[in-house]
Amino acid sequence: MTDDRDSTVNTMSATDAAGSGPAVARTRAELQAARAELGDGDVAVVMTMGALHEGHSTLIRRARADARHVIVTVFLNPLQFGPREDLSRYPRTVDADMELCRREGVDLVFLPTPDVIYPDGDPGVRVSAGPLGDVLEGQARPGHFDGVLTVVGKLLHLTGADVSYYGQKDAQQLLLIRRMARDLDFPVEVISVPTVREADGLAMSSRNMYLTESDRETALCLSRALRAGAAAANEGPSAVRRAARAVLVGEPLALIDYLVLVHPSTLEDVPEWYRGEALLAVAGRVGTTRLIDNFPVNVGPGGGALEVFSDGAGRNGGPPGHTGSASPQSPRR
Ligand code: AMP
Confidence band, pLDDT 50/70/90 cuts, at residue 126: very high
Using CA atoms, how far apart are residues 3 and 142, in angstroms rounded to an integer? Answer: 32
What per-residue confidence (pLDDT) applies to 307?
Answer: 81
Name the residue at shortest CA distance from atom 13 of ligand 1: 167
Q: Which residue of the set 56, 69, 157, 322 is catalytic?
A: 56
Residues having CB within 6 Å of any atom of ligand 1: 48-49, 55-56, 58-59, 166-167, 169-170, 193, 195-196, 203-206
How many other CB atoms sit within 10 Å of the CB of residue 327?
11
Distance 136 CA to ligand 1 centre (A): 18
pTM over 0.85: yes
Higher pLDDT, 17 or 268: 268
- Per-residue pLDDT at 112 exceeds 50: yes
Name the residue at shortest CA distance from atom 10 of ligand 1: 166
Strand order in the sheet with 23-25: 23-25, 108-110, 69-74, 43-48, 163-167, 189-193
The closest alpha carbon to 104, from 62, 49, 165, belongs to 62
Confidence band, pLDDT 50/70/90 cuts, at residue 332: low
Atom nearest to 197 CA in ligand 1: 19
